[in-house]
Chains A and B, each alone.
Chain A
Amino acid sequence: MSSDHRTDAPPRDVGEQRSADWAEEAVREAEQAEQAEQAEQAHPHGRGRTIREQDVLDRIDKARRRKAKVKEERITLAHGAGGKATQTLIEAVFLDAFRNPLLEPLDDGALLTVGDTRLAFTTDSFVVSPLFFNGGDIGDLAVNGTVNDLAVSGARPLALSAGFVLEEGFPVADLQRVVASMKAAAEAAGVSIATGDTKVVERGKADGMYVTTAGVGVVERPVTLGAAHAKPGDAVLVSGPIGDHGVTVMLARGELDIVSDLASDTAPLIGLVDTLLDGVPDPCSVHMMRDATRGGVATICNEVAKASQAAIVLDEDALPVRPEVNGACELLGIDPLYVACEGRMVVVVDGGAADDALAAMRSHPLGEGSRLIGRVKDDPPGLVLLKTGFGGTRIVDLLVGDPLPRIC
């Protein structure tokens, strides 16, 4: 039975019709939530009152603060992208169930105190496809990614664990290649892989291989780091050009048929972090460091703005982006601010220490391209703003899922 459009006259009666139940349900739920919250106050759409834009912005703010709830019945790829869907999933499912003071900050590493010693503890999984790409492979990502989470927590990495889930039929030679990369990366980072695990799953699962890691490090410096510690007047720095890794992997998948010389920026940041913390007069002037992985710089800035209840104002002209990354992003309609890196960090440092911090970072090979990209302000709290190269302003919100190529 084919659709109405085959007849020659517009339908007088539209025939069988349905309504989208999920949409009706969503509207009902939102109305109920609002009524509960605004029982005493006049509803912004109250009779006779014109709607003020500010009222609507306030209403949205409230809606965004409501308890996170996963509406989907099944996990979709968006839940793994690092954006809003991931956040909602983490808050509504994991944080809700596991809630404890160690987990709450949701920083890159958890801080454990054992006697006088502070330990940083982190975990990560690596599911990149393809496994091998320009500039590295899943093994490099696994070691560097874990080391970086420890480094930006202010820790000296002590040891990593590595768990392997291998697909039946995966070439042993490829496994050896990955392991060789991990060995080299671990040596470069000065860390050892102290324990591990191996599982094999049937053909068709695990995309070749998945790697899960955990890392432990010791926080020797008297630093207090975290997304909640940004203060108005702080400077926001990035350690180099953004988006290299994400675009490299996107192109390496081959489906887009785009070729370039771009390479992943995967690298261990421990040396850069040390140089930075040594190069500022007081290491406590560094308030936050985070390595920009999935979700990109935009996601980190949003997390900081939200946790610190401050505003971050970014300067588009100051963002370092390679021409090829720019070219690929313009072609696909993607914003480099949301594209993953694997060897770049975002640093929030006291305004007065910004110059020293930049100089220190630039003195390290991995930080040569460091730039001051923005400032922390006190208002509007929780928002990330961008001064565009054109001179206008816009906000930079979290994406729902992965940045998707668009044609419109």
Chain B
Amino acid sequence: MCLAIPGEVVEVQTDRPDLAQVDVGGVQRLVNVGLVLDEGLEPGDWVLIHVGFALSKVDEAEAKAALEFLESIGQAYADELEALAESNID
């Protein structure tokens, strides 16, 4: 149900555009990309792979935004810690 991993599209097959060679950390497999072709697919795009099928494209902008949010929490935390430390120095 849930094991799906992001992989990078290396090459879309010319004779079968619903198949693409996808790279995951240096190993590659032919993946059926029929479910994500609507917005077009190019080498360099990232897709979410589950049992040999791409279920979704990885939205890099959203991924970046998600990380930035997590970092902002981290930064705010670091700021608070600093403020706490400084407030103890009298």
Task: Tell whether any CB of A sits under 8 Å from a CB of B in the complex.
Answer: yes
Partner of A259, one of B25, B29, B51, B52: B29
Within 8 A of A (CB), among B20-79: 23-30, 49-52
Judge whether B26 and A258 touch: CB under 8 Å. no
Partner of B26, one of A256, A260, A333: A260
Closest residue on chain A to residue B25 by CB atoms: A327
Judge whether A257 and B30 touch: CB under 8 Å. yes
* Chain B residues whose C-beta falls within 8 Å of the C-beta of A328 in the assembled complex: 24-25, 27
Interface residues on A, range: 20 to 34
Q: How many of B's residues come within 8 Å of A, CB to CB?
A: 17
Closest residue on chain A to residue B3 by CB atoms: A333
Judge whether B28 and A259 touch: CB under 8 Å. yes
| B81 in the interface (beta carbon within 8 A) | no
* Chain A residues whose C-beta falls within 8 Å of the C-beta of B25 in the assembled complex: 323-324, 326-328, 330
Compute how far the CA of A259 lies from the CA of B24 in the bound complex, rounded to whole angstroms: 10
Compute how far the CA of A322 lies from the CA of B27 in the bound complex, rounded to whole angstroms: 11
* Chain A residues whose C-beta falls within 8 Å of the C-beta of B3 in the assembled complex: 333, 406-408
| B89 in the interface (beta carbon within 8 A) | no
* Chain B residues whose C-beta falls within 8 Å of the C-beta of A408 in the assembled complex: 1-3
* Chain B residues whose C-beta falls within 8 Å of the C-beta of A327 in the assembled complex: 23-27
Partner of A257, one of B5, B29, B50: B29
Closest residue on chain A to residue B51 by CB atoms: A407
Sample of 20 more A-B contacts, CB < 8 Å, known A324-B27, A328-B24: A257-B30, A257-B52, A258-B28, A259-B27, A259-B29, A260-B27, A261-B26, A262-B27, A323-B25, A324-B25, A327-B24, A327-B26, A327-B27, A328-B27, A331-B7, A331-B49, A406-B3, A407-B3, A408-B2, A408-B3
